[in-house]
Structure 1
Amino acid sequence: MGIAEFDFETDQIQPWLKTLPAGYQPQFLGALPPIELHKAICESWAVIVNPSWNSPETFCCSAVEAQACNRTVFGIAAGGLKETVYQGQFKTLTTGKSPEALGDLILKGLANMEAVAENGKLAGEFVRSQFNQQKISNTWIQLLSGQSIDSNILSTWDTPKAHAYDFLRWTGTGMAVKSVYARLLNRPH
């Protein structure tokens, strides 16, 4: 189904990482249980989410959680990330379709850590205002009563492919399929 690109990390990200100084190496944590994810976010200076154009997020809970922890999120300006990632003070989403484009944003962040920290605080305020319990409840009530809602986020779930991606993410089926496929190809997952 093309849920993730198997070769993206090995063919694109890893060669790019080799060009970075040792102190600038990001850590790829993969899928983590919620408590471990929260701990990793709190220990980080920023978070990189879904560096792939071929598998865009419709609604990235990890990006929202990272911002709720006052962390800046770097990623691709595609899918739901355009609506869920704060973009006020410091540009952190790339429109360039290459690892280098995302890498340039990250390196700019590493060169300006104070701006990234300030952006993280503003991102925290953004997600707490956009995704608080009252706002979510009001949106659900509007949807269930047939009223139109003031949100761009739901417009990203307009294709069967987007629904399939989220179903596979929510159920963990996507990771299981990826693991089986990797074993069939004798690749690490």
Structure 2
Amino acid sequence: MTQLGKSRDSHFPSIEKKHGKKMSYWFGVMKKISDKKYPEQITFLRTKHNFSQAHANALVMYARGSKSTSKFESVKDYFSSIDKTQAKTIKALYKPIMKLHKDIELTIAWNQPVLKLENSYIFGAGVATKHILINPFSKSVLNKFSKKLTDLKVSKHTFAIPNDWKVDEKLMVAMAKARIAEIIK
């Protein structure tokens, strides 16, 4: 499989510089605690060796065989990894939005499918067992449309839709247009 995203070993020079020991030393440390669970390994590195969360995570995950921060090679890979109903709902949500501007791109960021215009995000979607979480990447857009989202669970930055939600294209397009207007200012 292709190496994706930021490789975890990109943290290694900083780890060596900050802690004054070569990575071979740290791999030895990880070998000694390989029987521990992820949280225990992170805690050990943070408390016993003063690692930052980012450095501890990079070392632990690398030692566990995860060489990259990305899980998916493509949007297609992402959709094939989730429930078919959730994939269908997200695709139906994104389809009318992608028609709004010729430069909108569907890509993977934070291991989730997001719509992007220029260097800014328009919409992101993440899945849980019982719902899909939607992020319009703008508190003001979310606040502006909150009255139309009353049937949904709305939090500070996101709103949750049922897995089989009948997409309200008009609402999603209006929210996306508001977000695009913020980006293009």
TM-score by length of 1: 0.29
Greater radius of gyration (CA): 2
**Bigger strand fraction:** 2
